[in-house]
């Protein structure tokens, strides 16, 4: 009998090592260049133009924290253009629910930034034509490496077919490959501070 658990444990250990390396790299760059995060955030705001999202459209995004690629300027640009932006809220049970962004954010008890508006529940995401998701890395097949909690994998697995999903990473975090488990959900493209990179659709996708 093949022990499949060994392969799963090896994959998880590889993911953990890669996460540590990527997070350490982000911290080191921020320490070397205090302006690095702000510059990356300003460049990422151009995604509002490149994705051709018009007034009245609905986008799901997120409020960045720490050394994540900054989304603050992007959120404000989308809001000013009349795009309706959904942001996630981590609810009891470690599930993501959603609320509309109105220019205001508040810190959560888990160190995240959340919108202040009425909570809409998980099903609100179905209204989004485009979903921007955080990531530590994404590979050339669109396989995404998150932080390991699985929030976004559950969200993406429940999305209606045909939704555009874009992972937001730094340029050097688009890798040849990342370790993947069966529950990991792919993305269609990656947005870095310098480019929007589309990935080929998987067979049958």
pLDDT of residue 116: 92
pLDDT of residue 4: 56
Write down the pLDDT at residue 34: 84
- Residue segments in the chain with a per-residue pLDDT below the cut of 50: 1-3, 203-205
Phi, psi at 104, each rounded to 5°: -115, 140
The per-residue pLDDT for 183 is 87
Residue 103 is encoded by which pair of tokens?
């220019």
User: Distance (Å, rounded) from C-alpha 195 to C-alpha 44?
Assistant: 9
Three-state DSSP at 179 gives coil
Q: How many CB atoms lie within 10 A of CB 184?
A: 19
Confidence at residue 169, expressed as pLDDT on a 0 to 100 scale:
96
pLDDT at 149: 79
Cα 87 to Cα 137: distance, rounded to the nearest angstrom: 21
In the prediction, which pLDDT does 160 show? 85
CA dihedral 103, 107, 112, 116 (to 10 degrees): -40
- At 9, list the tokens: 């444990």
pTM over 0.75: yes
Distance between CA 198 and CA 62 in Å, rounded?
A: 20
pLDDT tens-digit profile of 125-152?
999 999 999 999 999 999 999 987 778 9
Q: What is the per-residue pLDDT for 204?
A: 43
∠ CA 152-51-91 to the nearest 5 degrees?
25
* Gyration radius of the chain over CA positions: 17
The confidence score (pLDDT) of residue 3 equals 47
> Which tokens belong to 2?
């093949």
């Amino acid at each position: 009998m093949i022990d499949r658990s060994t392969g799963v444990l090896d994959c998880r250990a590889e993911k953990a090592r890669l996460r540590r390396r990527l997070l350490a790299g982000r911290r080191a760059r921020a320490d070397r260049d205090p302006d690095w995060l702000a510059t990356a955030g300003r460049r990422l705001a151009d995604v509002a133009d490149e994705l051709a999202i018009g007034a009245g459209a609905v986008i799901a995004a997120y409020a960045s924290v720490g050394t994540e690629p900054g989304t603050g300027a992007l959120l404000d640009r989308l809001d000013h253009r009349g795009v309706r932006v959904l942001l996630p809220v981590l609810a009891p049970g470690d599930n993501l629910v959603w609320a509309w962004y109105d220019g205001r954010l508040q810190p959560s008890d888990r160190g995240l930034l959340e919108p202040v508006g009425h909570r809409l529940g998980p099903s609100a995401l179905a209204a989004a034509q485009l979903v921007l998701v955080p990531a530590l890395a994404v590979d050339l097949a669109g396989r995404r490496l998150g932080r390991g909690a699985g929030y976004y994998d559950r969200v993406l697995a429940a999305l209606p077919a045909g939704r555009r999903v874009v992972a937001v990473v730094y340029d050097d975090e688009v890798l040849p490959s990342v370790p993947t488990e069966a529950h990991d959900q792919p993305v269609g493209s990656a947005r870095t501070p310098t480019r929007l990179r589309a990935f080929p659709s998987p067979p049958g996708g």
